[in-house]
Amino acid sequence: MSVKISNNKNIETKKVLILARIVQPYCKVKDGGREQKYSANMLLYVLGYFIYDFLDMVINQKIIHSWELLFHHVVVITCFGISVLTCRYVGFAVVALLVEINSVFLHLRQVLRMANLAKSTFYRVNSMINLGTYVVFRINTLAWMTRWLVLNRDLIPLFSYTIGSVGLAIMTAMNIVLFYRLMRSDFMKASREKELRKEKEKEKDM
């Protein structure tokens, strides 16, 4: 079983690398005569991952259950794709990858819930770290990117500015909704359960 899972992951990884290599020749970013190969390659691999993940969800999942993620991936692929094809704003796009730091704890949360460990101490610790990194790496990053875009709007072509503004507005709205869902699920619900327990204990004492 583990060998099969490992082989599937290797196949998926190779597909992502192939997708990234297909688009790689289109972008060579230069800054002061030096090619920023690390940043450009990182952006290309991430773009390849989002394209593959999008196709995987379309093929293997029901759209009604994954439409939010599909919409998220369309926005990311569009914005990153413009950066790759125009060979511009690579640094700006790389800053957006800071969001993925929080994704580690967000995905770990989902794994713990799937393993029926939502009431464990480890889950509670991860929830607090998840919330903290959410504010630092998601909300703060999106706020900085919005500020940068507004301050530099005179230096950015109208098309790129419009796509960037719409993309950031959509991502900000989606992240606010997700933040509320996390708060309601991991903290508000827990506090309500504690209050109900206390009320029941009081009733028993009476």
Query: Do 178 and 137 belong to one domain?
Result: yes
Residue whose token pair is 């995987």: 56
Residue 89 confidence (pLDDT): 87
Query: Do 104 and 180 belong to one domain?
Result: yes
Q: What is the pLDDT of residues 170-181, one digit of tens each?
A: 999 999 999 999
Residue 1 confidence (pLDDT): 44
Rg, Å, the chain Cα set: 21
Query: Do 111 and 186 belong to one domain?
Result: yes
| pLDDT < 50: residue spans in the chain | 1-7, 9-10, 14, 16, 19, 22-26, 28-35, 196, 202-203, 205-206
Maximum C-alpha span of the chain: 79
Output the six-digit token pair for 100: 């993925």
Q: Which domain holds residue 130?
A: 98-206
* CB neighbours of residue 134 within 10 Å: 22
- Residues with Cβ within 8 Å of 16's Cβ and at least 6 positions away in sequence, in order, are 45, 48, 49, 52
Residue 132 confidence (pLDDT): 95
Q: What is the pTM of this model?
A: 0.74
Domain boundary pick from 97, 132, 155: 97
CA distances from residue 49 to 12, 72, 103, 156 in whole angstroms, order as listed? 9, 13, 14, 27
Q: Which amino acid is at 1?
A: M
Residue 96 confidence (pLDDT): 92
Residue 36 confidence (pLDDT): 63
Domain boundary pick from 97, 131, 150: 97
Angle in degrees, CA 14, 17, 23, rounded to 5: 145
Angstrom distance (rounded) from CA 37 to CA 200: 62
Residue 90 confidence (pLDDT): 86
